Structure 1
């Protein structure tokens, strides 16, 4: 099975993305998407020699739920900031977040999560991969915001990328 599906999650994602791009579920679309989902991971397998182990269970489902909720809430918070607060009242900050994640994939997922949440943007990762530079739109306490990012996202990602 490992020879047929070297990256099962990638194969599933490719099939789903293909069906979303086609925007129509037909037998031909599913077959062609299935062919892509089988062939592309096979060709890219040499470029993934040390792929990380990912837990696809309750840890990932909980992480996705937290991120989805945070994105929705942050949209309302940013809208409130823009509509009802003056620019001079905002406390925009650059935060340096120390990273305890070990794999580049986990660090990328953390940076992407931060950027997906309105009001924050991941700007850079240090050359050694130990620090993440984040810009936040309105921060009252720098240390509390860094602790929130580490507790809310990084700790969950450490459980997912075991």
Structure 2
């Protein structure tokens, strides 16, 4: 059964999303099951690494911080766009040194940074362990370094390393 349904939670979530988007009919249920089975088999063929979580208890804290930062960032970006106030504002790039080495932790950090409006993960240099971020409103580079390292990287290191 494990070979047919290698990722049951992911496949059930995909089926549910399919039904929410396409409608709850018998035909869509059958098609959704087919899509979920194909997606599960495709993912199994990639042999993804299983995350090793050291501290499950910090995950809700990380989620709360990220959601809070996303809401604040949305408000700031809307202010910039609606008011058109560009005085003293400049977009730019920031190089941030990272101590985080876990690939899954790095992937999650990239999702966090990119999902926060006004920032984008541009490049990761594994030889120097630095990430290049693009920031819409770059006022203080050191503040961005501190934000990434203290708010996100620290918790991700605690969770994964």
Task: Kindly provide the CA deviation profile for residues 53-110 of structure 1, in whole angstroms up to 9, marking residues without a partner as x.
Answer: 3589553333333222222211111222344464341143311122233333332221
CA RMSD across the alignment = 3.2
Conservation of the 8 A alpha-carbon contact between 1:93 and 1:138: yes
The equivalences for 1:110-125 within 5 A come to: 110-125=109-124
Conservation of the 8 A alpha-carbon contact between 2:55 and 2:160: no
Q: CA deviation at 1:159?
A: 4.1
How many corresponding residue pairs? 161
Q: Say if 1:79 and 1:39 are closer, same or farther in 2 by CA, change over 3 A.
A: closer
Q: Comparing 110-119 with 93-102, which one deviates more in the overlay?
A: 93-102
Which structure 1 residue ranges, 5 or more long, are not aligned?
none
What is the TM-score with the length of structure 1 in the denominator? 0.74
Tell me how far apart the structure 1 counterparts of residues 130 and 41 of structure 2 sit (CA, whole Å): 33
Tell me how far apart the structure 2 counterparts of residues 9 and 47 of structure 1 sit (CA, whole Å): 17
What is the TM-score with the length of structure 2 in the denominator? 0.74
Conservation of the 8 A alpha-carbon contact between 2:55 and 2:158: no
Which structure 2 residue ranges, 5 or more long, are not aligned?
none
Conservation of the 8 A alpha-carbon contact between 1:52 and 1:103: no
Q: Comparing 130-139 with 104-113, which one deviates more in the overlay?
A: 104-113
